[in-house]
Amino acid sequence: MSESPGVQAAPQEVWERPFVRAHQEWCSAFVLELRLRDVPGPVIGERLGEVEGHCTETGEPPSAAFGDPTDYAREIDAESSPERVSGVWTIAALGAGQVLAMLVGTAAIRNWASGEPLTYNLVQLGCLAVVAAALLCLPRVLRPLLAHPWVVGTALFAVVTAAGVGAAAASGISSATVVPVSPAVIAIGLFMVVLALSWLEYRELTGDSADDLVTSPLAPEPRANRAAQRSGWITLVPALMVPTYYLAVGIVFWVLG
Amino acid sequence: MPTGPQPSEWLRGVLELCVLRVMADGPTYGYAIAGRLADAGFGDIKGGTLYPLLARLEKNELVIVDWRTGGTGPGRKYFTLTDAGRAELEHGLTRWEAFSARVGVHLAAGGDAFVHSTHSSRSSA
């Protein structure tokens, strides 16, 4: 036998492996189910490594040896150690904070440009709370969203849109309370808040990419480091999305105001 | 006497013990375990049945695992029995022997009773 005991392969993302590319549909469904169960990336990689090692030796496709990928993921997870990651909730909270700050901040820019004070009434505050709740519950509705993207996605979009329309329609209510701070201070202050939250989100995402990638314990393939090189840009895009949108909307409001 | 494959419910009850027994001979990996069980007449144990069981043994610290490179595939996950695993195997063997003896006695007695009652009903007819 030619095995060398105790040899640990360098971490390599499973998506680079020929076996995973050859059985993309099965492997993606398997990884997705374990991700939805908050199983850490390296643990998922180890489970996928077991599948690859076994199928390579038997010559069977994973569907023949392990059955339905989602059912198998549930079964193997039920028998595994209950190790879990919780970063998705932190990201959801940071994202919700960014969007709320952006909604209030861009409204403040519009009022700053037109020289009016920023006002809010109870209906508008309620609509903001609905948007925040919809964003915070995203990790919880991820599974139904992926299973029925049109139905659940349309429902979520409808809720957020209704909140936006409701907030706009309620702006004429006379019982609005004037926010006792200058719109300029609110607009600039909330932009700083958005930037700070973006930085925290970027840190959280890069921490994930270092510790929570779905890495394979099997012998690495030549294209090993592409994912690591890519991950910096991938994590930067979602973190900078809200500040960029904040600036763009702010400029449009300022020009139109 | 041809016996054919055993019902899957029977195998499910003793598969863990059989796997621990295979591991008692030294460090081994999933495909080799499946091969040993097939050679022993248990039939084709699918990966979807075997690996959740191996994961449970790992979770319960009855085995330690390590990945080894080489061989024909990209790598193999080896399972080695721990002291707790050996103790579990010993305990399981003792319980299995007691259980199978009990089942054997019961089935033999039940068989005798069946033969006896059939014979009696034929005589009275």
**Angstrom distance (rounded) from CA B5 to CA B12:** 13
pLDDT of residue A207: 62
What's the mean pLDDT when you consider all of chain B?
86
A30 touching chain B per CB within 8 A: no
Q: Do the chains contact at A65 and B72, CB–CB below 8 Å?
A: no
Residues in chain B within 8 Å Cβ distance of A80: 55, 58-59
* pLDDT mean over A48-58: 93
pLDDT of residue B62: 97
Q: In terms of CA atoms, which chain B residue is nearest residue A72?
A: B48
- The reported pTM is 0.69
**Which is higher by pLDDT, B50 or A4?**
B50
Q: pLDDT at residue A173 above 90?
A: no
Mutate to test the interface with A, among B50, B65, B69, B80 (most CBs of A within 10 A): B69
Which tens digits make up the pLDDT trace of B46-99?
999 999 999 999 999 999 999 988 666 678 999 999 999 999 999 999 999 999
Mutate to test the interface with B, among A7, A39, A50, A51 (most CBs of B within 10 A): A50
Please state which of the ranges A104-118, A233-247, B7-21 shows the lowest mean pLDDT.
A233-247
Measured over the CA atoms of residue A210, residue A216, residue A217 and residue A218, the dihedral's sign is negative
Q: In terms of CA atoms, which chain A residue is nearest residue B48?
A: A66
pLDDT class of B25 with cuts at 50, 70, 90: very high
Q: Do the chains contact at A57 and B72, CB–CB below 8 Å?
A: yes
pLDDT of residue A3: 45
Q: pLDDT at residue B15 above 90?
A: yes
pLDDT of residue A68: 96
Q: Do the chains contact at B30 and A218, CB–CB below 8 Å?
A: no
Phi, psi of A117 (to 5 degrees): -75, 155
Percent of chain A having pLDDT more than 70?
Answer: 82
Per-range mean pLDDT, top range of A65-74, A195-204, A236-245, B7-16: A65-74
Percent of chain A having pLDDT more than 90?
Answer: 23
The answer to whether A17 and A224 are in contact (CB under 8 A) is no
pLDDT of residue A7: 44
